[in-house]
Structure 1
Amino acid sequence: MAILKGAEPFLLYGSEKGVLLIHGFTGSPAEMVLLGKHLNACGYTVLAPRLSGHGTTPEEMEVTNWANWYNSVRDGYHLLKGICTSISVIGLSMGGLLAIKLAIDNNIDRVVALSSPIYIMNKAVRFIPAPKDCKGRYVPKKRRQIQGVDSIYTVAYNKMPLTSVHSLLALIRHIAKHLPDLQRPFLVVQSKNDHTVKYHSAAYIYRSAGSKEKELFWLENSGHLVTLDTEKEIVFAKIVEFLDKDRSNPI
C-alpha cells in the first residue's frame, strides 16, 4: 500500500542521545516533523515511525489494532537503540499512551505525553456500536487547519474506522489501569483549549502515574495538536528543558 505524501517515517541523526516520536490516532509522522527538527537542532537523534495502518488508507487501518500500533513503536525503539546509548520517548495524543506503554515495558530515560486521552470530548463514543457491528463502518474526522501551518504537517485521514475507535478505547483502558507501573521521569503537556481530549485527562494521567519525578504543564491557547499550534515554541522549549535534566555529558 502506497504511503501518503508527507506521512513517511523520518530519522534525523544527531548524537547518541535518542528521542522516539510517536504520532496520534489516524495521524502520521508529519505532525511530529517540526518538533523533530527542533530536537535534532539541539543535538538529539530523532526517529518518528509510522504506526501500522496509518498514513495509507482508512481501510488499511481498519484491519489493525492497538497491539499492531504498539509493535510499530517497539520496532522504532529497537532501531533507535541500535544507534543511541539512551532513548527518551514523546507521544502526541494516542501516541502519548503508546509512549507510556513503551516506558513501562522498557528502559526509557524520559517520557513525554502531549494531549493524551483518558476522557474524550466527543460524546458519540458512548454510543458506538458493538465491535461485531462496526466492520466496514467509518465516521468523518475533522481536523482544524491551523493558521500559518503548511498542510504537509497535517497529513491524516478524514475518516476513521469504528473498529479502530474500539481499539483506541481499549488502549485507553489498558493505560489507565497500568499508569501506576510507570516509574520513569514523566512530563504531561495539555492545553485547556483542547477540543478533542478533555483537559481533565492530563490531571488523571499525572495523578495516577507512579513516577517519582513528574510534571504537569498547562497551555492556554493551543488546540489538540500542540506540536503545530500557536504555542508550539513553548512546548518545544519545555520538552528540551525536561530532556536536558539528566544530560550527564554534553551532546
Structure 2
Amino acid sequence: MKDKSFYFKGGKRAVLLFHAYSSTPNDVRMLGRALERENYTVYSPTFSGHGTHDLEDILEVSPKDWIEDAKKAFQFLREEGYQEVAAFGLSLGGIIATKLMLDENLLASGTFSSPAIHNDTTNVRKEFLDFMIAKKYKNGDSKEVIQQRLPELEEKLDKQLADIRKLVDEMAPQYGSVEKPVFIAQGGKDELINSHIAYELKEAFAKADVDFHWYENSPHSVTVGPDRKELEQDVLNFLTELQWNGG
C-alpha cells in the first residue's frame, strides 16, 4: 500500500502532524493543507505498522516505535533547516506529540481528541477489533480463519493498549512542569474516549499557556468533522501567536 506520509514544504515555520491509532496521515491531511496555504512547512509521517492492508501489522510494533518515528520526523525537519518546530496529533498522535514535547525542544505542542491523560472509559478496543476483522474479510480471510486467530489478536491488542496506558501514566506527572504553549482540542460527540478528560488534561498543564477548544458537534476525528474549518483557524491562530525566531 502507498505510504500516506506527506511533506508540504513552505516557509520557515515547521509543523509536525501525527495521525491516530489504526489510521494514517490522511486524517490530518486537510489540516496540513490549511497550514500549507498559510506558508507553513508541514510534515506528517506514517507510524510504524500503519498504512498497510492488514491492521494486524499495527500489533507487531509498540509505542516505543512510534516515539522513535516522531523523533526521526523531528530530526528530519531539523536536517531540512527548520530549527523551530511545533507538533500536534490526533488521538494516539496527540499522545506521541506530547511525549515529543517532553523529550525534545519543541516550540509548542497540541492534541486533538487525545487520551493523553489516564482514561479508562474507551471504545478503542472494540472499534479496533471490528475494523481489523472487517479488513480481514475484505482481504479474503474466511470466518473460520479469523475466529481461530482472534484470541491471539485480542491478546496482542490488549498488551498494546496496556502499553499505551503505561506510557500516558509515565508522562502525566511531568505535565505540571511544562511551561511551553499547549493547544488542546476536543470533540463534544467523541464516540471513542470520554471527551471530558480534555478538561483534566488542561488542568494538568498547570504552568503552561493552554489554548483550549471544545467543538460541540464534532466526533473523535475532529480534524475531519463538521467543525474542522473552525479547528484549522484555531490552530493557525495558535501558531501565529507563538514566538517564532526564524521568521
Classify the TM-score, shorter chain: 0.7 to 0.9
Contact 2:187 2:220 in 1 (8 A): yes
Matching residue's letter, 2:11: S
Contact 1:120 1:196 in 2 (8 A): no
Alpha-carbon distance in 1 for matches of 2:229, 2:124? 33
After TM superposition, list the pairs within 5 Å mapping 1:30-41 onto structure 2: 30-41=26-37
Deviation of 1:247 after TM superposition, in Å, equals 5.0
Unaligned runs of 5+ in 2: 133-152
Q: Which position in structure 2 is the counterpart of 1:112?
A: 110
Contact 2:84 2:246 in 1 (8 A): no
Q: Which position in structure 1 is the counterpart of 2:88?
A: 90
Unaligned runs of 5+ in 1: 129-137, 143-158
Q: Residue 140 of structure 1 aligns to a residue in which SS? A: helix
Deviation of 1:172 after TM superposition, in Å, equals 2.5
Deviation of 1:36 after TM superposition, in Å, equals 0.4
Deviation of 1:183 after TM superposition, in Å, equals 2.5
Deviation of 1:235 after TM superposition, in Å, equals 0.3
Q: Which segment is superposed worse, 217-226 or 78-87?
A: 78-87
Alpha-carbon distance in 1 for matches of 2:27, 2:124? 25
Residues 61 and 124 (structure 1), Cα distance of their counterparts in 2 relative to 1, 3 Å cut: closer
Contact 1:223 1:229 in 2 (8 A): yes
2:138 paired with 1:140: no
Alpha-carbon distance in 2 for matches of 1:124, 1:196? 6
Q: Which position in structure 1 is the counterpart of 2:169?
A: 173
Q: Which segment is superposed worse, 189-198 or 210-219?
A: 210-219
Alpha-carbon distance in 2 for matches of 1:248, 1:71? 26
Alpha-carbon distance in 2 for matches of 1:28, 1:116? 16
Is the helix fraction higher in 1 or 2?
2
Matching residue's letter, 1:104: L
Flag as ranges the 4+ runs of structure 1 deviating above 6 A: none
Deviations 1:170-218 (A, max 9, x none): 2232232332243310111112211111112111111011443112211
Residues 247 and 179 (structure 1), Cα distance of their counterparts in 2 relative to 1, 3 Å cut: closer
Deviations 1:225-246 (A, max 9, x none): 1110100000000000001002
How large is the RMSD of aligned CA atoms in angstroms? 2.4
- Give the paired residue count: 220
Matching residue's letter, 2:130: P
Could you tell me the percent identity over the aligned residues? Answer: 25
Contact 1:104 1:181 in 2 (8 A): no
Q: Residue 122 of structure 1 aligns to a residue in which SS? A: coil
Q: Residue 224 of structure 2 aligns to a residue in which SS? A: coil
Deviations 1:155-180 (A, max 9, x none): xxxx9833322222222322323322
Larger radius of gyration: 2
